Structure 1
Amino acid sequence: MSTRAEAKAAAGDPSPDGGVNSAPMLTSSKGFCSVRHGLALMVHLCNFAISTQQMNLSIAIPAMANGTALPGPHNTSAEEPPPGDLENGNETLMTSKAVAPVYDWSPEIQGILLSSLNYGSFLASIPSGYVAGIVRTRHLVGTALFVFSILSLLTPLAAEAGVALLILLRLVQGIAQVMIQTSQYLIWVKWAPPLERNQLITLSVSGLMLGYLTVLLAGGFLSETLGWPYVFYVFGGIGCACSCLWFPLVYDDPEDHPFISTGEKDYIVGSLAQQDCAPDRSLPIKAMVKSLPLWSILLSQFSENWYFYVMMAYLPTYLNSVLQVDLKGSGFLSALLLAVAFVSVILGGLLADLLLSRKVLTLIVIRRLFTATGVLFPSVLSVLLPWVSFSLGITMAFLVLSFATSSLCQAGSLVNFMDIAPRYTSFLRGLSLVFAQLSGVIAPTVSGFFISQDSEFGWRNIFLLSAAVDISGLVFYLVFSQAEVQDWAKEQTLTRM
């Protein structure tokens, strides 16, 4: 293995300001056909797997609780035909085999079931971020993905056993999910050259959007044709397959990867030689609390996710109730917008790295510019939505632009924590998830209150509040954000708790 001194010699001495653009220009001949981009594809598949399994209950629960199964013991429909029905016995048996069990769940129980995964994620966000800094990322992510997927396969059995067991299963899935979400960023601390970090991260994160899109398009079809259990079987099986690929193909450090070329390994190690990213089990809590750049990222996470969660929760309802689009059409249009976001996330990462590598803009300018674009455009367009509701075409054009530009935040403030404290990446990712999930709890609740109070002006108030929250977070971020490693995140930090 190369020593730290050798790596620094390969990269050159760091400049006084520690800026990315001051490092010597290192190039890799492999480009996109490289091990690091293959690694990004594996993380992409991992995110795809967890996002499909995150939403599978939302897709399946209408059939689980409100299906048209034949009445029978335990609310199941896979019963044999009545003994005296000889004429239609075979036909009834064939039909009943295709109908899945249906359960007598109240709306309150359904709400708890749908929220239980988020409860697990919320409770485990910060602890999992700390654990991820101790346990090897390769083992933690791969094991968590496997557990998450196995539990998806067991979901139909858990539902048959009772609501309590199903809630417990979803809680454990939430813990496994947040471990994956916090740990995966640690991979890029050692694998992503500074001039390629945006494209590698956005390529991997785009798997979430592709997963949401896929489960929206395929989940209902599986539920209607094969029965709702297959929603869990298919996507759980995909997750198990991804976890089996994970262990032989993913390694924590390019130094340990058996398939990487010497040229690519030297390029990655040399480009990261100036970065102090050695993991540290102790946390400078006091310094973190006083860090305005860190607070700017956390508040930005809260404000930007406010708009995202409002759209995810109420977009089909808005299309149906305001624009008079039927449920099937609203589902298709929602999937279309997710497809736009999927493409925009990847293109945004590529554009950010292009501007950085060509030295057109500095890293902090890129973070602020992409964040401002990803906030201002969606805010203005969403406020204008009530005024163009007379036209489905104009509304969809506004929504497409809104989803496309909001995705740029992924190359802006949403990855800024890796710039200011790479050695605490997993912990800060877990901390930022807490703020994002708080937004996910508050935003849909407040939006539902507005709609229930005034159906005519409720949507206008929802969009105005969303814009106000988003822009407030943006202002704070633009004033206090930074892109260089903070003093409390460096090795020589003395004050710790």
Structure 2
Amino acid sequence: MDNRFPPKKVPGFCSFRYGLSLLLHCCNVLVTAQRTCLSLTMVAMVNSTDPHGLTNTSTKKLQDNTKATVITAQHEVWVKWAPPLERGRLTSMSLSGLMLGPFIVLLVTGIICDSLGWPMVFYIFGACGCALCLLWFVQFYDDPNNHPCISISEKEYITSSLDHQVSSSRQSLPIKAMLKSLPVWAITLSNFAYSWTKNTMLIYTPTFINSVLHVNIRENGLLSALPYLFAWICGILAGEISDFFLTRNIFSIIAIRKLFTTLGFLLPAIFSACLPYLTSNFHSTVIFLILASATSSFSLGGVLINPLDIAPRYYGFLKAFTSLIGITGALISSTLTGLILNQDPESAWFKVFFLMVAINMISLIFYLVFGKAEIQDWAKEGQHTRF
């Protein structure tokens, strides 16, 4: 019997694994909220005569590190909780919170700044984060076998579907083999490019709108939020469609991964390249800004889940490694974009967007050439590759 396929009666959407995905979704919403609200409050701070309205660089870096820790750690959850045929939808559901978070935050932050003052933004989202943290400690367990609330049928379904992929035996990490693996570097470079694009758009969209469209803080919040609503929708669709293609055997796993990676990198590159030429037209600028941010979420059905395909036994470590490189891309992008905007105001946005396009296209080509979806030799059971 093929363990990838569920028994006849398995809890579907109203199950604990989907509840866990929803809980992670909410965690990602609030983790991103702590980071995103700063991008719009910076506009309010700069426009304020209050001496406290200066950008706090150390606060931004601390928030970057906190967000990175949470995002990296949560990938280990799906090693023991995600059946192979549901990886796309479960991970996309949880990670799409990273897109819905900015939408909610940017939408309400402008209103809060205008009505209550920008300091209240941090108090409100901080309180929500504390409440969700308590819920996480109560509800989360590392392994479905140890959870007191999960049904027996769901527990058996998850464990049986992962029998041939996740082993309880402890083996040394094949770090040397990982570092020599071109599929690993294809995923790593793509994570760098994805984080570069998402971080640039996340931090500097309100600044771009403020400098190009010249709207007030409420309108800026609304316009900055819209791209993330559509990014959230695209992220959910990516997971659902990729799993649909897989369960119906329409495409192979590698074809699905490369298809959604291409959509997630090529489309944002095209729309971003058009933005510097559309600044004189309000509606065209808004539409292309939405499309540039939204279409990058197709990567959730592609390269962002690919480590679970090539090395399920070492998924947590491999995802942490690729995410660490992605974090590096995010930090470099925010710093370099700030320098470009400060030193060359006239052609700054042209340079920012075309640098983003170049990085996207280089990483996409590398992934299309070297990306794989089958379990690598060094990640198979019985392989004892050492340092």
Scaled by the length of structure 1, the TM-score of the pair is 0.71
Write the deviation string for residues 389-428 of structure 1: whole angstroms up to 9, x where unpaired: 3322222222222223210001111121111122222222
| Structure 2 CA distance for partners of 1:442 and 1:279, relative to 1, 3 Å | farther
Q: What is the aligned partner in structure 2 of residue 411 from structure 1? A: 301
Pairing of 1:140-219 with structure 2 (within 5 A): 174=66, 177-219=67-109
Q: CA deviation at 1:268?
A: 1.7
Out of 52, 57, 61, which is 1:115 matched to? 61
Out of 382, 386, 391, which is 2:272 matched to? 382
Out of 215, 235, 249, which is 1:345 matched to? 235
2:263 is the alignment partner of 1:282: no
Q: What is the alpha-carbon root mean square deviation over aligned residues?
A: 2.6
Structure number with larger C-alpha Rg? 1
Q: CA deviation at 1:344?
A: 1.3
Q: What is the aligned partner in structure 2 of residue 40 from structure 1? A: 21
Write the deviation string for residues 268-297 of structure 1: whole angstroms up to 9, x where unpaired: 222222213547463222111101110000
Write the deviation string for residues 108-162 of structure 1: whole angstroms up to 9, x where unpaired: xx223322333xx2xxxxxxxxxxxxxxxxxxxxxxxxxxxxxxxxxxxxxxxxx
CA distance in 2, matches of 1:277, 1:223: 51
**Partners of 2:6 and 2:157 within 8 A in 1:** no
When structure 1 is superposed on structure 2, of 414-423 and 320-329 the one drifting more is 320-329
CA distance in 1, matches of 2:335, 2:45: 24
| Structure 2 CA distance for partners of 1:26 and 1:294, relative to 1, 3 Å | farther
Out of 236, 258, 266, which is 2:148 matched to? 258
**Partners of 2:231 and 2:294 within 8 A in 1:** yes
Determine helix, strand or coil for the equivalent of 1:265. helix
Determine helix, strand or coil for the equivalent of 2:84. coil
Q: What is the aligned partner in structure 1 of residue 34 from structure 2? A: 53
Determine helix, strand or coil for the equivalent of 2:75. helix
Determine helix, strand or coil for the equivalent of 2:328. helix
Q: CA deviation at 1:490?
A: 2.5
CA distance in 2, matches of 1:310, 1:245: 32
Q: What is the aligned partner in structure 1 of residue 368 from structure 2? A: 478
CA distance in 1, matches of 2:204, 2:98: 19
Q: CA deviation at 1:257?
A: 2.3
CA distance in 2, matches of 1:279, 1:324: 59
Q: CA deviation at 1:480?
A: 0.8
CA distance in 2, matches of 1:372, 1:269: 33
Q: CA deviation at 1:223?
A: 4.6
Q: CA deviation at 1:210?
A: 2.1
What 5-or-longer segments of structure 1 have no aligned partner? 1-9, 13-22, 70-101, 122-173
**Quick one: which amino acid aligns to residue 477 of structure 1?**
Y
CA distance in 2, matches of 1:64, 1:456: 23
CA distance in 2, matches of 1:479, 1:304: 18
Q: What is the aligned partner in structure 2 of residue 445 from structure 1? A: 335
| Structure 2 CA distance for partners of 1:373 and 1:28, relative to 1, 3 Å | farther
CA distance in 1, matches of 2:133, 2:208: 37
| Structure 2 CA distance for partners of 1:357 and 1:236, relative to 1, 3 Å | same
CA distance in 2, matches of 1:256, 1:385: 51
**Partners of 1:35 and 1:260 within 8 A in 2:** yes
| Structure 2 CA distance for partners of 1:314 and 1:227, relative to 1, 3 Å | closer
**Quick one: which amino acid aligns to residue 14 of structure 2?**
C
Q: What is the aligned partner in structure 1 of residue 126 from structure 2? A: 236
**Quick one: which amino acid aligns to residue 201 of structure 1?**
T
CA distance in 2, matches of 1:454, 1:232: 32
Q: What is the aligned partner in structure 1 of residue 221 from structure 2? A: 331
**Quick one: which amino acid aligns to residue 255 of structure 2?**
V
CA distance in 2, matches of 1:323, 1:220: 16
**Quick one: which amino acid aligns to residue 44 of structure 1?**
H
Q: What is the aligned partner in structure 2 of residue 19 from structure 1? A: none
**Quick one: which amino acid aligns to residue 244 of structure 1?**
L
**Partners of 1:280 and 1:423 within 8 A in 2:** no
Scaled by the length of structure 2, the TM-score of the pair is 0.90
Pairing of 1:421-436 with structure 2 (within 5 A): 421-436=311-326
**Partners of 1:277 and 1:422 within 8 A in 2:** no
**Partners of 2:199 and 2:334 within 8 A in 1:** yes
Out of 169, 180, 184, which is 1:294 matched to? 184
CA distance in 2, matches of 1:461, 1:65: 24
**Quick one: which amino acid aligns to residue 372 of structure 1?**
T
**Quick one: which amino acid aligns to residue 52 of structure 1?**
A
Runs of 4+ aligned residues of structure 1 deviating over 6 Å after TM superposition are 61-66
**Quick one: which amino acid aligns to residue 381 of structure 1?**
F
Matched pairs, number: 387
Greater length-normalized contact order (CA 8 Å, ≥ 6 residues apart): 2
CA distance in 1, matches of 2:47, 2:345: 26
Write the deviation string for residues 19-39 of structure 1: whole angstroms up to 9, x where unpaired: xxxx45655543211111111
Q: CA deviation at 1:63?
A: 7.0
Q: CA deviation at 1:66?
A: 7.8
| Structure 2 CA distance for partners of 1:117 and 1:351, relative to 1, 3 Å | same
**Quick one: which amino acid aligns to residue 285 of structure 1?**
I
Q: CA deviation at 1:199?
A: 0.6
CA distance in 1, matches of 2:231, 2:273: 20
CA distance in 2, matches of 1:222, 1:326: 13
| Structure 2 CA distance for partners of 1:46 and 1:272, relative to 1, 3 Å | same
| Structure 2 CA distance for partners of 1:238 and 1:314, relative to 1, 3 Å | closer
CA distance in 1, matches of 2:169, 2:126: 32
What 5-or-longer segments of structure 2 have no aligned partner? none
CA distance in 2, matches of 1:27, 1:473: 42
Q: % of aligned pairs identical? A: 43
Write the deviation string for residues 202-244 of structure 1: whole angstroms up to 9, x where unpaired: 1111222222222222334445544555433322222222222
